[in-house]
Structure 1
Amino acid sequence: MTHRSTALRRTTRATMAVAVSGSFLLAGATAANAAGSTDLPSFGSLGAFGSSAPTTVETPRLATVDNFRDVAGPGYRTPFGHMRTGVFYRANAITPGDADLATLEGLKLSAVYDLRTPEEVAQKADRLPAGPEYVHIPILSGDLAAGVAQLRTPDDARRFMQDMNRSFVTDPAARAGFAQLLTDLANTPGPQVYHCTAGKDRTGWTSALLQTLAGVSGDDVMSDYLLTNEYTAASMERTYEGIKAGQGQGIADVYRPLLGVDASYLQAGLDELAAKYGTVQNYLLDGLGLSPVTLAKLRIKLFG
């Protein structure tokens, strides 16, 4: 193997590591009620909670930030009404063109939470509108490039992604990052957005937590998670074709499962949560160390 091909392979692995690092409701709206001891349902108990329904508020599609969307979707249905849109947004790396930057400015965001590692940020820094506070909360530990380098088959890649989602439950540093993010979301006024590189793994996990906190059905939580494959289809295909051109179709096929999401990825994290904590409430309160008051503040925002 030539020096050039070795360097290209290393570059591809590093690029893929960056790409993959990109993934209960209590009745009553008062903090006093929400701060009580009422059990919150786990992810697995949400299947009967209804389905999504449209609202009059629509989130703009951004051509240059293709996985930007509202955490509430179209206003997902819950046992207590519909989620409130225009409060929390999710995204991939925020590097908009001029037109999309103007659109973002119109949303009057108060804060942007960047969940990427310092290495990811160095590769592609955010370009933000004037106004919002930038908060860096790096989530992910370990050498992703080394992990990617060990992949030999598409099934290896799928297991890699499943293990990443499990780490959101088992890794203390990851839990601390999610705790800080959810606490800041609860305590900061105004519309807010959080993102990672691809807007699918760390961002997807956070969105699943917020949607479940609001009482969104398990089916809708998973369907929303899988929307990444629709929103980013074109960019995923460009990345795949770039790997194929540089490394061949075999390598591109191995890495392809890293580019999008699969139901098994999120489900692996949810299963780990159930095994370690039993319920989502226990994960949020005991695993993340959130207070009942913080959960109450989030619920009030989710329903407003």
Structure 2
Amino acid sequence: MNFNNTPVKRIRLEHAFNIRDLGGLETADGSVIRWNRLYRGDCLAFLSPDEWKKLEDFGIVSIIDLRSKSETLLMKDQVPETMQYYHCPLQKEEIDFENAAESASKAFTKSLADGYQKMLYDSPELIAGAVKTVVQCLNKGGVLFHCTAGKDRTGVLSAVLLTLLGADREDIVAEYQVSFTYNQRGVNKAAMELPDYQSMLPMLGSDAAHMEQLLHLFEELHLTSYLTEHGLPDSEITNLKDLVLERKGS
């Protein structure tokens, strides 16, 4: 496949606000995360055919949807035949869109940090399964995983992958924080359309403290052991590194 392999951190689209490449980060062993391999994003349901083509031009061949079943039914990804679609929800709870603020509060309790912790404790096999799917898809080409805002569920999976790859803690936190800036257009749109928007404001940020707490939890759980105990073989972690990392200058 011929595609645009020029490093681009953020893919600018009209109908999605937070799609970006995780490439370019240096890891603990001196390797670098390759460009055009791992992408994270927000809702893709409203992309035009030209926008899907643009994603394909960046080497993306697999779409991994981390949203709940109800979200996928309400806002379906119109994935073209040239790509493969995988549904890998990271939470067992469904989201009630008729009572969005209340539903979000149940999912994320007192704070986003609590919500991330709840995700790890309640759905370990789903997280391990999502990582496994990412690795298997990487054998075919670039992978884009996404949720609705591209911040929370996507942020958790991104942090898991970057930690496994050996990215620096500060880089993982900084990468997470970018979401709030990129999501401003979507946030402004939500302000006009959601009657309970104000009550959801605390959940729309991407504060460094939230990710710091998540990374601390990774350490407490011994992330690699946590994942292997819930269905991710050690060989898949090795494959992830082989498929994504490269030595500097190579």
TM-score by length of 1: 0.69
1:216 paired to 2:176: no
Alignment coverage as a number of residue pairs:
233
Decide whether aligned partners of structure 1 residues 150 and 198 sit closer, same or farther in structure 2, where only a CA change above 3 A counts: closer
Contact 1:168 1:269 in 2 (8 A): no
| Inter-partner Cα distance in structure 2 for 1:125 and 1:202 | 17
Q: Say whether the 8 Å CA contact 2:128–2:228 is kept in structure 1.
A: no
Q: Which runs of 4+ in 1 moved over 4 A?
A: 143-147
Aligned position for 2:227: 284
Give how far 1:83 is off. Answer: 1.1
Letter in 2 for 1:298: L
Residue 144 of structure 1, CA deviation? 4.7
Equivalent position SS for 2:60: coil
SS at match of 1:198: coil
- 1:135 deviation in Å? 0.9
Q: Retained in 2: the 8 A contact 1:158–1:257?
A: no
Secondary structure in 2 matching 1:135? strand
Task: Give per-residue Cα distances to partners, 1:191-220, cap 9 Å, x unaligned.
Answer: 111111111111111111111222211111
Question: Residue in 2 aligned with 1:118?
Answer: 69
Q: Specify the alignment match of 1:254 in structure 2.
A: 199
Shift of 1:101: 2.0
Task: Identify the structure with bigger relative contact order (alpha carbons < 8 Å, sequence gap 6+).
Answer: 1
**Cα distance 1:158–1:299, how it changes in 2: closer, same or farther (>3 A)?**
same
- Aligned CA RMSD, in angstroms, stands at 2.5
Identity in percent: 24
- SS of the residue corresponding to residue 93 of structure 2 reads coil
Q: Secondary structure at the match of 1:159?
A: coil
Alignment partner of 1:232 is 2:183: yes
Shift of 1:259: 2.2
Q: Secondary structure at the match of 1:77?
A: coil
Instruction: Write the mapping of 1:57-68 to structure 2, written as runs, cut at 5 A.
Output: 57-59=7-9, 60-68=11-19
Match of 2:40 among 85, 90, 93: 90
Closer/same/farther in 2, CA of residues 150 and 128 from structure 1, 3 Å limit: closer
Question: Offset at 1:272?
Answer: 3.3
Does the residue aligned with 1:111 lie in a helix, a strand or coil?
A: strand
Aligned to 1:239, the other structure's residue is in SS state helix
Aligned to 1:178: 127
For 1:28, the equivalent position in structure 2 comes to none
2:25 is equivalent to residue 76 of structure 1: yes
Q: Judging changes above 3 Å, is the alpha-carbon distance between structure 1 residues 253 and 87 closer, same or farther for their aligned structure 2 residues?
A: same
Measure the CA separation in 2 of the matches of 1:151 and 1:182. Answer: 24
Q: SS at 1:235's partner residue?
A: helix
Letter in 2 for 1:175: P
- Residue 8 (structure 1) aligns with: none
Instruction: Note the C-alpha offset of 1:185.
Output: 1.8
The one-letter amino acid of 1:282's match is S
* SS in structure 1 of the partner of residue 91 of structure 2: coil
AA in 1 matched with 2:158: S
Change (3 A) 1:143 1:101: closer
Cα deviation digits, residues 266-292 of structure 1 (max 9, x gap) = 3333333334x2x22222323x33222
**SS of equivalent to 1:149:** helix
Indicate conservation of the 8 Å contact 1:167/1:269, yes or no: no
